[in-house]
Amino acid sequence: MNTTSDDLKEQQTIDEVRRQYHELAELAGSLAHEIKNPLSVIHMNTDLLCEELEESQWPGKRRAISKVDMIRQQCHRMENLLRDFLRFARMQDMELSVGSLNDQIIVVLNLFQPQADKQNIHLDKLLDPNLPNIRLNSSALQAALINLVKNAIEAMPDGGELYVQTYITPKGVAMDMIDTGCGMDETTAMRMFEPFYSTKPEGSGLGLPTTRKIIEAHGGRISVQSEVGRGTKFVIEFPTPIRLAP
């Protein structure tokens, strides 16, 4: 097959985008580290200051300790935000090997089984035993699935059902994750994959964007449907490696 000039231009464009992405990711990572180091010093000295206030006899120490605690909480929140941001910025090229999507799902659901039992949430697995393998990075894919299951369980504080189903598609394999939780309005459903968008007071807004980047790094795609008061459905699709396809 001959390579056309259009093909070469397209590949050059892709290579340039990748180069710019890596430069931006490297810059963002360096900046995050520069922020993280002084933030850790502030956090450490805040802890020391709190200890000294506890030992003092100053009449206003309770008010001071309360203010120091607020600083410490915000430091902790910023540290979590930087951790999530670094994970998001670095999520691009990863090593993939052939593995089972079903196995990744089982591992993640087993992690959440005790919490689901405690909240009266039934985990229903409908996994196709004949599902073809896909190319995956086990730790990254499990991190993406953990994010989705965690969100689903948080959406069902009074109990409910979480259905996880896998099946074969014309182009590969897919997974449906359906919960009977509180659901989302249209605006939230449309913006949930935007970096830093969150409806949770303590949320970084990077969990679901990172999940999407992980799925896309696997050559897949993720979509969502939701209705307030009825629940949410995520659909994740992965391509089957050519040499494994029938």
CA distance 232 to 226: 4
pLDDT tops 80 at residue 12: no
> pLDDT band at 1, cuts 50/70/90?
very low
Tokens of 108: 């993640």
Least confident of 7-21, 132-146, 163-177, 211-225: 7-21
CA distance 81 to 92: 19
CA distance 73 to 79: 10
Domains of the chain: 5-90 (1.10.287.130), 97-244 (3.30.565.10)
CA distance 171 to 150: 28
Tokens of 2: 């001959």
> pLDDT band at 51, cuts 50/70/90?
confident
CA distance 97 to 120: 36
Q: Taking the CA of residue 141 as centre, how many other CA atoms within 13 Å lie in the half-sphere pointing to its CB?
A: 27
CA distances from 177 to 14, 128, 158, 243, 245 (A): 32, 14, 19, 28, 24
Taking only the tens place, the pLDDT of each residue in 117-143 is 999 999 999 999 999 999 998 888 988
CB < 8 Å & 24+ apart, contacts of 67-71: 71/42, 71/46
